[in-house]
Structure 1
Amino acid sequence: MIDIFSYFCIGLGLVFWFWGTWPLLGDRSVLFKLHSLSVADTLGSMLMIVGLLLKIPREWPLLVLALIALSIWNTVLGYVLAYCSTGGRDA
């Protein structure tokens, strides 16, 4: 049962990865495209790591560290992109 849930998480993570790249083909703003891509990639990567955590629980310290790093660094990257897009002025 855990193997099925693990594969489900990994598969859903792949779906999020591909779903996040779909808006890149549209004609919306660059910031919208980057935002949707980064959110979908973050969620997809986190789901894959959760799937790996279920599959190989002996590696939990590294996988939890990867989850924390993904959530912090992708959030910080979003704020940096938003700050840079405003030209450094307060939004």
Structure 2
Amino acid sequence: MIDTLSYLCIGVGIFFWFWGTLPLVGDRSVLFKLHSLSVADTLGSMSIVVGLLLKIPREWPLLVLALISLAIWNTVLGYVLAYCSSGGGD
């Protein structure tokens, strides 16, 4: 049961990775493309890490650190992109 749930999480993560690349071929703005790509990449990566956490629970400190790092790093990167696109407070 745990293996099935683990593979399901990893599969959902890979799905999010590919789903996030679809807006790149659209006619939207570059910032919309970057936002959708970063959100899908974050969700996909976190889902894969959760799947790995279920698969190899003895590595939980490292995998929880990876989850926290993904959440913080990608949120900060989104704010940096928004700040840079707004002209830097000018």
Q: Which runs of 5+ in 2 are unaligned?
A: none
Q: Which residue is equivalent to 1:6?
A: 6
What is the CA distance between 1:8 and its match in structure 2? 0.2
Q: Which residue is equivalent to 2:19?
A: 19
Counting aligned pairs with the same residue, the percent is 83
Distance 2:63 2:21 in 1: 25
Q: Which residue is equivalent to 1:82?
A: 82
Q: Which residue is equivalent to 2:70?
A: 70
Count of residue pairs brought into register by the alignment: 90
CA RMSD of aligned residues (A): 0.8
Q: Which runs of 5+ in 1 are unaligned?
A: none
What is the CA distance between 1:63 and its match in structure 2? 0.1
Distance 1:88 1:17 in 2: 30
What is the CA distance between 1:89 and its match in structure 2? 1.7
Under a length normalisation based on structure 2, what TM-score does the superposition of the two structures give?
0.98
Distance 1:2 1:25 in 2: 37
Deviations 1:38-66, CA, capped at 9 Å, x for gaps: 00000000000000000000000000000
